[in-house]
Structure 1
Amino acid sequence: MNRLIKTLLLLFVVAGFSMTACKKDSDSKSNEEKLTGASCWKQSKVEAQDPFTGSWVEDTIDDCDKDDCITFNEDKTLDFDEGAVKCDPSDPQTATGTWSLSADGTTLTLNDPNSGSFTGTVTELTDSKLVLEIDVLGFKSRITFTN
């Protein structure tokens, strides 16, 4: 989870320099069921909002981040796995934290006892796609996770 938080913070710093179009699937599952129904969420797209034009620009995802896996469990715990390729060999392979979703399903918070918490706005959530918009120090990013 430390790696996830560090990666997200780095992405937001990069956001000022570099920036998803989404579609919605309709189904009857709750947002929590959509999150917990997937065995593994992986980053598939990262975008940063250009602070001057407001447009979104796609950024690259390092190979060591592409295989990272996040699992949302029904008991509100969160499992993070570094995957086969680690960015920092000294990072633990796995970490556990907690997660919460606001009642209206628009705010997702991830908590890690070692790294603190991270909150994003859910702009899209289907069985196979999660899009979070994050604002860090005035820089906006969108991260798309797929499973």
Structure 2
Amino acid sequence: MKRIIFSIGTLLMMGGFMTSCSTDDGSSDCPEDFTGALEANEQKLVGEWVLTAIFADEAVDITDDDQDNPSTDLFAQYGECQKDGVYTFNTNRTYTFEQGLNGTNCQNSGTFDGTWQLSSNTLSFVDACIQQNLTLTFNGSETSFSFSDDFNITDISGNTIQVNITFTYSLTP
């Protein structure tokens, strides 16, 4: 069950809204990489951001612990591999997203990279001919950001529940 939930988390961590382009003749019309100097608003993203929280708007039990203990704190219900997500944003507009690389024997581990830009509070990525967009909410000190989307989650009992999930990343010192 945790793997199903983690796959949902992976989709959001990689960018909840994806757009790819192609033509009917089979050729590809990929979005261009983001280039150019960073705007003042974008400087706040430069650095390493670690996944620190995953909350649902409704309590869900995804732990296989023989107890009925639903919680809105999905992060607390995950193992080390599912909690391991890190974005690194560079000044040259490149980024790397790593998942499951710090735990032991993690499935669904990988590294993704591409280019990025932040316009207002919309973070956009271009990676492998796909453009992804996330609407970010920063905390007051701009040391963490969050984004949300709706998902159907299957709990430990096999019930499917529609919830809004919020992922939070924090800047490492």
Aligned counterparts of 1:117 and 1:6: Cα–Cα separation in 2: 18
RMSD between aligned residues: 3.5
* Structure 1 residues 6 and 134: CA distance shift in structure 2, 3 A: closer
- 1:87 to partner: Cα distance: 2.6
- Structure 2 stretches of 5 or more lacking a match? 1-5, 14-38, 59-70, 153-161
- Structure with more of its chain in strand, by fraction: 2
Q: 1:132 to 1:140 in 2, by over 3 A?
A: same
Q: Structure 1 CA distance, aligned partners of 2:12 and 2:146?
A: 18
Structure 2 counterparts to residues 1-147 of structure 1, below 5 A: 7-9=9-11, 30-36=40-46, 38=47, 40-50=48-58, 57-60=72-75, 61-82=78-99, 83-85=101-103, 87-88=106-107, 91-92=109-110, 94-102=111-119, 105-113=120-128, 116-125=130-139, 126-135=141-150, 139-146=163-170, 147=172
Provide runs of 4+ in structure 1 moved above 4 Å. Answer: 135-139
Name the CA distance, whole Å, in 1 between partners of 2:150 and 2:117.
Answer: 18
CA–CA separation in structure 1 for the residues paired with 2:73 and 2:95: 27
> Counterpart of 1:75 in 2: which secondary structure?
coil
Q: TM-score, normalised by structure 1?
A: 0.59
Larger radius of gyration: 2
Q: Deviations over 1:113-132 (max 9, x none)?
A: 17x34322111154421222
Shift in Å, 1:136:
5.6
| 8 A Cα contact 1:100 1:110, kept in partner | yes
Which residues of structure 1 form unaligned runs of 5+?
Answer: 12-28, 51-55
Identity, % of aligned pairs?
A: 26
Distance 2:163 2:40 in 1: 30
Number of residue pairs matched? Answer: 116
